[in-house]
Amino acid sequence: MPDFQAILENLYQDAMNTSDKGTVASYIPELAHVDKNNFGIHLRTSAGKDYGVGDYKKPFSIQSISKVLALSKAMELIGEDIWKRVDVEPSGHPFNQLALLEIENGIPRNPLINSGAIVIADILVSNLENPKEDFLNYIRDLNGDDTINFNIDVAHSEKVTGFKNYATANLLKSFENLNNPVDDVLDFYFHQCSIEMNCEQLTKAFFFLSNKGNCLSNKIRLTKTQAKRINAIILTCGFYDEAGEFAFEVGLPGKSGVGGGIVALLPDNFVVTTWSPGLNIKGNSLLGMKALEKFTTETKLSIF
């Protein structure tokens, strides 16, 4: 077994010594204030051993990483009926692209681009009694941690600047692929993306996807088949128009967020989370992607 702590410490030093740390997302005003010199990594093995370095206990806005957890909850609630409303193909386009949605008659290419995630949000609004509260409690329960919460300032910031998401939701509505009022769905979606967690909490939240659908408390969240399907989707679609690059360089299923987080996993082995707020031109964490490429190269642990 590799010396994970030593490897993480080397990755941290490499990151700290890198001059180009990317550019912090500024289109969501609240995210523009985050110091791009933050960097943290946390890894948890399937045997329950934890390793961390740097700012791995500092909370940040998980943003699109939440889409995987929303998809998991929706799959738990309605199963295969999800695929009647959203496809499973990589988009090859940025996360907020609208052109494909119109060409493909209101069926999003996959559940991890914004249009697909908004459809998933609509499913959750329809099937949860108190959508925001119930979804937050779902994530808290995955972790066994009641301290996880929304960042209300970030949610508001997304709401007042989310013009393209409003356009997307209205386009979905025009194709009858949104059952609830646009404002209700987007209010849930903006709160979902505003959830704050740290690297350690995200690693624990994603543990069930590395553990055949069973979470930290050994509660069955998804069937083995459902967990396999979600891992396939995050491998092929988790980084939008850089998904192929992440699979090529890192070789793990993973998901990024514009808050600078990346979660990646090797089923039956480990979950690893990185956080570095500076993004590359594709909107993914610059140092996070580099660190994970070095991690799988040094450990020789990937799905390939």
114 appears as a binding residue in the annotation: yes
> Taking Cα atoms as reference points, which of 166, 77, 167 lies closest to residue 126?
77
What tokens appear for 117 in the block?
């995630």
258 appears as a binding residue in the annotation: yes
Burial annotation 16-52 (CB, 10 A radius, 16+ → b, else e):
eebeebbebbeebebbeebebebbbbbbbbbeeeebb
Distance from C-alpha of 24 to C-alpha of 283, rounded to nearest angstrom: 9
Q: Are 213 and 267 in contact (CB under 8 A)?
A: no
Distance from C-alpha of 169 to C-alpha of 186, rounded to nearest angstrom: 8
88 appears as a binding residue in the annotation: no
Count Cβ atoms below 10 Å from residue 225 Cβ, excluding itself. 11
The dihedrals phi and psi of 19, each to the nearest 5 degrees, come to -75, -40
165 appears as a binding residue in the annotation: yes
The alpha carbon of residue 77 and the mean position of all alpha carbons in its chain are separated, in whole angstroms, by 19
The alpha carbon of residue 125 and the mean position of all alpha carbons in its chain are separated, in whole angstroms, by 19
251 φ/ψ sector (left φ>0, alpha ψ -120 to 50, else beta):
left
Distance from C-alpha of 51 to C-alpha of 44, rounded to nearest angstrom: 6
30 appears as a binding residue in the annotation: no
How is residue 104 annotated by DSSP?
T
Report the binding-site residues for substrate: 64, 114, 158, 165, 189, 240, 258
Report the binding-site residues: 64, 114, 158, 165, 189, 240, 258
